[in-house]
Amino acid sequence: MKVNELRNMTADEVRLKVEALKKELYNLRCEANIGRLEKPHKVRGVRRDIARCETILREKANAK
């Protein structure tokens, strides 16, 4: 996910994206515990995407 895409979104859209990413992270962790996760690097990518979204939300809050 690109940072410019997130900056063009509204704060509500970014919050929805964070919720969706957290659900995806939960599912990936569950699969990893079961042993069915084929691409373990996706967990790291999703965590970073969540961090990017939260950073953008903080930037938008500080800009007001």
Q: Residue 22 corresponds to which tokens in the numbers above?
A: 């957290």
Interval 2-29: pLDDT, tens: 999 999 999 999 999 999 999 999 999 9
pLDDT value of residue 13? 97
pTM more than 0.75: yes
pLDDT value of residue 43? 97
Grade residue 62 by pLDDT with cuts at 50, 70 and 90. very high
* Count of the separate structural domains present in the chain: 1
pLDDT value of residue 1? 76
- 11-15 long-range contacts, Cβ below 8 Å, gap at least 24? 11/57, 11/60, 11/61, 14/53, 14/56, 14/57, 14/60, 15/57
Domain containing residue 24: CATH number: 1.10.287.310
| Domain region containing 10 | 3-63
